[in-house]
Amino acid sequence: MKIIVDYRERSSGIVKELLKKGIQVEEKQLIVGDFVLQGDGLDGKLESIGIEKKTQHDFINSIIDKRIIKQLIELKENFTIPLLIIEGEENIYSLRNFHPNAIRGMLAAIAIDYRIPIIYTKSYRDTASLLEVIANRLKKPRRHIGLLRKRKPLTLKEQQELLVESLPGIGPTLAKSLLLEFKTVKRLVNAKEHRLRKVEKIGPKKAKNMKEVLEGWYDSEQGHKKQ
């Protein structure tokens, strides 16, 4: 895996650290970003990662002179995955006589408006280690990660309750009461209206509506029940 590095990063110490780690480095004059990595994406197509790295001091200065906006827009326009690295361990809100909310506002805009991930590193060595991890990750086969937790299959009891809850005016509590009374869904479906009304909170109207849904003819063309 090769990392393309802007020649102006030579003095940062990052290039030297990458070479120590055995990573191939190519120095160029990059028009956009400070580091570029390429690899196969999830769909097998070439994916490019463009990284803008700023020390904490440079990040504050780029907010003041508005450089950061232009740089981030160019990053998004030129790379599949844009990243921003902010390097340093100091309290970023006390580096300059600059209102903390202005810094927070920019961080929020980068993450939400521009949708560019922000990664914090402690030093140039930490930044080099992060670049190594990213490079190694690009070499591995990648797959989509499901963010939704897979739900366990419903138990028979849960399926029965869910089925009865779909009837008009029937919530979880009434569904359980009906199942306790009739024991099976089949016996509930076959029950007469007067039997349904014996269950607490099942009045004449609710019982009638249930029977209409259970026994009414389905008309796919007109969308109403045949009498």
- Give the model confidence (pLDDT) of 106-144 as tens digits: 999 999 999 999 999 999 999 999 999 999 888 876 665
Q: Beta strand 46-55 with 35-40: parallel, antiparallel or unpaired? A: antiparallel
CATH class name, domain 156-215? mainly alpha
Domains 2-139 and 156-215 share a fold: no
- Give the model confidence (pLDDT) of 137-189 as tens digits: 888 766 655 655 666 788 999 999 999 999 988 989 999 999 999 999 999 99
Predicted model pTM:
0.62
How would you list the strands of the sheet with 35-40, edge to edge?
24-28, 2-6, 35-40, 46-55, 81-87, 118-121
H or E, element range at 208: helix 204-215
Return the number of other C-beta atoms located less than 10 Å from residue 8's C-beta. Answer: 11
Domain ranges of the chain: 2-139, 156-215
What does the alpha-carbon distance between residue 77 and residue 69 come to, in Å, rounded to a whole number? 12
CATH class name, domain 2-139? alpha beta
Q: What is the dihedral of CA 204, 209, 210, 216, to 10 degrees?
A: 130
